[in-house]
Structure 1
Amino acid sequence: MKRTRLTVLAAMALSTTLTLTACGSDSDSDSNSESDSSSGDSSGGAVTVDTAMGEVEVPAAPERVVVLDTGELDTALALGITPVGAAETDTGTMGLSYLPQDQLADIENIGVVGQPNLEAINELDPDVIIGSKIRVEEFYDELSAIAPTVLTETVGAPWKENFALHAQALGRADEAQAVVDAYDEHVAQVTEALGGAEAAAETEVSMLRFIEGANTRLYGRENFIGSILEDVGLGRPAIADEAPDGFAVEISPEQVDQADADVIYYTSYGSADASGEEAAVGGPLWDDLTAVQNDRAFPVDDDLWFLGIGYEAADQILTELQESLAPTA
């Protein structure tokens, strides 16, 4: 299967940069220094990483990597690393549909996000484990007994900072910079395609997510997708600024009219029937929405827009934003 543009860029960068990038408390992806080894193999020294759990010493260039969440899986693949193990979501998704499926075939399931299977992880004999404190703090001691465990504080909004820290822990900071540069270039391209910053800001975009077993969410600004919309310069409806902690406003499917905006992107986590999406979309409140009346309500892939939380996902979201919003000749 064809690899995504960012993965290819990372792989190209890898071919010319196999020296170790050490890191301290600074999480910037371009903050580099020489390690005690530049051999590029997993036995060539170690580096100390400043994590949410304190300083952790990891191999200079780990080869057997276990990832504990979807964002970390995106990060590893963007940097040219195929993990030996990865966690699945509680709806049974591990591979994430937007990722190159041929790269996922040999990745072992190591439990559910937030509930790692310690025995399965131990059997994989990893060099390093990466994840987040908010997901697995209670398992940290057990995970650390298996392999050096690098955790960020949380997930979502700080995805760029998380990427930088995990890239340092994986010995791929230079490759990470190539990925970041490609993203910045793509953002500028999309903003220009939308008519420039002023035109983008005049388009209010609402992010609506129906969730199986929970309330429907209208996403604010402090989350993965919110940061991408902000980077492009797109406007947001007033309700986006009412979200507690900037994350999301919770509504029932019967309050779907609160999603009104120039453009709506919507999806379901879990079954569209069980999440309330099927009942809400096409109902009388839905038909009255501005975006629906103007044919600017777009269903999107939940794996991509809400679960990926990384540069591979962000790159594809930018493409979809341009395809759906750019003026046609």
Structure 2
Amino acid sequence: MIHNSPRWTRRNLIGTGAGLAAAAAIGRTAVAQTPVASPPATSYPITVAHDGGETTLESQPQRIVALEWHLVEDLLVMGIQPVAIADVEGFKTWVTIDVALTDDVQDVGTRQEPSLESLEAAKPDLILGLDYRDIAIYDSLAAVAPTILMSSYPQEDGVTPLENVRDRLRQEGWFLDNAEAVEAAIATMDAMFEDQAAEIDEAGLTGIPYVVTQMFTAENQPTMRIFTDGALIGDAISATGLENVWTAEADEWGFTTNTIESFIEFPEDVNVFYIVNGSDDVPTEMLNDDPIWQSLSFVQEGRFYPLGGDTWTFGGTQSVERIVTRSTAQITGTASEA
């Protein structure tokens, strides 16, 4: 038997997605267009090459387990309810998108240490894991069900986080036979960028400086992740025309971990977007009486904008849409409380 086994690089993903994107774009215009054929159905069996090796899918998976939240989001955006995920409660706390996880989705433990016993009980026909984290347990996962390890951040030089989201979705759309839903999701996200960039431009804010941070308590001290454009959240906000002024060398996720003192380095006219969890409200609980914090111009002048604790910074297309619409609404003064 001959299996279709392409290796998914950015080049062939672009080639695959270009025609499909054109089809999806037609749905966004009122002008009559020549109909474009729907994406071709995936012909099984197929073999998917990934960091764990090669995984053959004999037919379209029906019972999928996802061990990371952006993979759960990708499935939901494609109209697929997973049979089980890692950390259901955490997903519902941190990730808010248009498509809800159904109540019957099973929990298979933490993202860091999924339970093999729970995985077996879920009876999956496909497990989606992370390349860097689940490679250590890949053989154990593959013994339960066919397993594919997906990337979390760009793997090729020159690929941006937003491009990585599109590429990842297109690969998933291929091996799950959901290419049409994928192109619709990408088209919706890209149309959103056009709309939000237009709002920024109309408000005269194109090019103004910003940073975006996630604040939390670590060892009883206020701690801040500050995101570069090498992070999905930075890349997404910058795509609206704002300028991210945090260009420090970051980790593979695109952020640095900092203390209050780092905020002194920002330009006087910087705008700061922030994310905190409701149970760990660092600005209110730890910084109200801090003299360094209170001396910062963006604090004094009200250029400190909440994005909400349910804004997932490492997600998929709908998380990106949430990030961008909220940041635009905050900076243009049209936001309700996040």
* Deviation of the 1:277 alpha carbon: 6.5
- SS in structure 2 of the partner of residue 233 of structure 1: coil
- SS in structure 2 of the partner of residue 130 of structure 1: strand
Partner in structure 2 of residue 202 of structure 1: 207
Corresponding position: 1:286 with 2:273: no
Which range is displaced more, 253-262 or 170-179?
Answer: 253-262
Partner in structure 2 of residue 61 of structure 1: 60
Partner in structure 2 of residue 51 of structure 1: 50
Q: Tell whether the 8 Å contact from 2:84 to 2:122 is kept in structure 1 after alignment.
A: yes
Q: Tell whether the 8 Å contact from 1:64 to 1:83 is kept in structure 2 after alignment.
A: yes
Query: CA 1:137–1:212 in 2, change beyond 3 Å: closer, same or farther?
Result: farther
- SS in structure 1 of the partner of residue 201 of structure 2: coil
Counterpart AA for 2:241:
G
Query: CA 1:305–1:281 in 2, change beyond 3 Å: closer, same or farther?
Result: farther
Name which of 2, 14, 24 aligns with 2:6. Answer: 24
Partner in structure 2 of residue 142 of structure 1: 140
* Deviation of the 1:280 alpha carbon: 2.3
Cα deviations across residues 226-279 of structure 1 (Å, max 9, x unaligned)?
A: 120232222012xx1113357223222455444565321112368426x68721
Counterpart AA for 1:25:
R
Q: Structure 2 regions of 5+ residues with no counterpart? A: 19-38, 155-160
Cα deviations across residues 33-80 of structure 1 (Å, max 9, x unaligned)?
A: 6544xxxxxxxx422222222322124421111111111111111111
- SS in structure 2 of the partner of residue 228 of structure 1: helix
* Deviation of the 1:130 alpha carbon: 1.1
Alignment RMSD, CA only? 2.9
Partner in structure 1 of residue 183 of structure 2: 177
* Deviation of the 1:25 alpha carbon: 1.8
Corresponding position: 1:324 with 2:330: yes
The within-5 A match list for 1:233-252 is 233-237=241-245, 240-245=246-251, 247-252=254-259
The within-5 A match list for 1:39-188 is 45-88=44-87, 93-95=90-92, 96-99=94-97, 103-155=101-153, 157=161, 158-188=164-194
Q: Structure 1 regions of 5+ residues with no counterpart? A: 1-21, 37-44
Name which of 281, 301, 314 aligns with 2:308. Answer: 301
Cα deviations across residues 148-197 of structure 1 (Å, max 9, x unaligned)?
A: 1111233473333322222323221221011101111110000001116x
Query: CA 1:152–1:294 in 2, change beyond 3 Å: closer, same or farther?
Result: same
Which range is displaced more, 61-70 or 295-304?
Answer: 295-304
Counterpart AA for 2:114:
P
Q: Tell me the distance in 1 between the aligned counterparts of 2:115 and 2:311.
A: 25
Query: CA 1:166–1:213 in 2, change beyond 3 Å: closer, same or farther?
Result: farther
Cα deviations across residues 87-112 of structure 1 (Å, max 9, x unaligned)?
A: 128xx613245135853322111111
Partner in structure 1 of residue 227 of structure 2: 219
Q: Tell me the distance in 1 between the aligned counterparts of 2:55 and 2:278.
A: 36
Query: CA 1:200–1:76 in 2, change beyond 3 Å: closer, same or farther?
Result: farther
Cα deviations across residues 193-214 of structure 1 (Å, max 9, x unaligned)?
A: 1116x95542212111123437
- SS in structure 2 of the partner of residue 30 of structure 1: helix
Give the % identical residues: 21
Q: Tell me the distance in 2 between the aligned counterparts of 1:243 and 1:176.
A: 32
Query: CA 1:117–1:86 in 2, change beyond 3 Å: closer, same or farther?
Result: same
Query: CA 1:164–1:213 in 2, change beyond 3 Å: closer, same or farther?
Result: farther
Q: Tell whether the 8 Å contact from 2:307 to 2:326 is kept in structure 1 after alignment.
A: no
Q: Tell me the distance in 2 between the aligned counterparts of 1:201 and 1:305.
A: 25
Q: Tell me the distance in 1 between the aligned counterparts of 2:284 and 2:134.
A: 31
Q: Count the aligned residue pairs.
A: 292
